[in-house]
């Protein structure tokens, strides 16, 4: 039903999932393990598999003192690992920290367009203010009511958490259901593709037609800026890789 979000900078996040249905990193894994759309497993069965595994009991002993694999240890180990997923070495970060790196003129112009037209929701430094909003996507799945599935409040209908734009150029497809394959389609959506509804965020209703007006030049420089948010040190970190 949903597009899997990347794991990054989770130490600072208050909410997880597109609808914020999980708000504690330690408890997060229970959801994908037991969700029929994801692993469709039981926590107990997963723990039993680890207990019978050739390596894991020894690894738990090294970390916790004994070989015992309990729910608490299992969840704490997973959280601790996920806390290592820190993305803070992009070109953008280096420019912000004055590490002798500067934006090109296109990137700088894109940064200005971003600050004017995107930053109210995709706010620095995480590139999300962690609010839940509706950005005018057509409803393709009437059962996925977004944040309203959690709060049961009509005002949250079809609202989703503002996703971070860090590493965004590396993580198509886009939006909660992955409907856009390219960043160009995302920008076209903001400029000319929005669907009006009572749930649409008021920011997009300020202009007529609704949305965020973007010229071809603005789209071009915005892409240059978004590229500066790609953190190759992070995505190539071997400690976080299976290979």
Rounded to whole angstroms, the Cα distance separating 212 from 157 reads 21
Q: Does 111 bind ligand HEC (CB under 6 A)?
A: no
Least spacing, CB of residue 228 vs ligand HEC, in Å: 13
Tell me, by CB under 6 A, how many residues bind ligand HEC: 23
| Token pair listed for 39 | 């692993």
List CB contacts of 242: < 8 A, sequence separation 6 or more: none
Rounded to whole angstroms, the Cα distance separating 100 from 196 reads 45
Q: Does 148 bind ligand HEC (CB under 6 A)?
A: no
Which CB atom, from 79 or from 120, has the smaller least distance to ligand HEC? 120
Least spacing, CB of residue 111 vs ligand HEC, in Å: 12
Which CB atom, from 76 or from 179, has the smaller least distance to ligand HEC? 179
Cβ–Cβ < 8 Å for 85, 13: no
Contacting ligand HEC within 179-238 (CB under 6 A): 186, 190, 201, 203, 212, 222
Of 53-61, 70-78, 96-104, 113-121, the segment contacting ligand HEC by CB under 6 A is: 113-121
Which CB atom, from 60 or from 201, has the smaller least distance to ligand HEC? 201
End-to-end CA distance of the chain: 29
Cβ–Cβ < 8 Å for 52, 44: no
Rounded to whole angstroms, the Cα distance separating 172 from 175 reads 9
Query: Which of 168, 194, 221, 229 is the binder for ligand HEC (CB under 6 A)?
Result: 168
Cβ–Cβ < 8 Å for 10, 83: yes
The residues binding ligand HEC (CB under 6 A) are 117-118, 120-122, 133, 135, 137, 160, 162-163, 165, 168, 171, 174-176, 186, 190, 201, 203, 212, 222
């Amino acid at each position: 039903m949903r597009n899997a979000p990347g794991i990054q900078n989770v130490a600072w996040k208050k909410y997880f999932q597109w609808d914020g249905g999980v708000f504690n990193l330690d408890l997060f894994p229970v959801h994908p393990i037991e969700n029929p759309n994801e692993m469709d497993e039981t926590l107990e069965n997963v723990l039993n598999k680890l207990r019978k595994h050739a390596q894991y009991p020894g690894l738990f002993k090294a970390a916790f003192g004994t070989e015992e694999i309990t729910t608490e240890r299992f969840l704490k180990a997973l959280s601790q690992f996920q806390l290592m997923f820190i993305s803070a070495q992009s070109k953008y970060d280096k420019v912000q920290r004055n590490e002798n790196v500067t934006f090109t003129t296109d990137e700088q112009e894109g940064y200005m367009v971003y600050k004017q037209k995107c930053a109210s929701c995709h706010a620095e430094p995480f590139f999300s203010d962690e609010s839940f909003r509706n950005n005018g996507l057509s409803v393709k799945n009437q059962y996925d009511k977004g944040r309203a599935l959690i709060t049961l409040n009509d005002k949250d209908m079809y609202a989703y958490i503002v996703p971070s734009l860090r590493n965004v150029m590396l993580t198509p497809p886009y939006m909660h259901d992955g409907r856009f394959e390219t960043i160009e389609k995302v920008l076209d959506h903001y400029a000319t593709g929005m669907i009006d509804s009572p749930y649409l965020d008021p920011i997009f209703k300020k202009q007529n037609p609704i949305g965020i007006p973007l010229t071809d030049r603005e789209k071009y420089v915005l892409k240059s800026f978004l590229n500066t948010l790609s953190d190759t040190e992070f995505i190539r970190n071997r400690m976080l890789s299976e290979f």
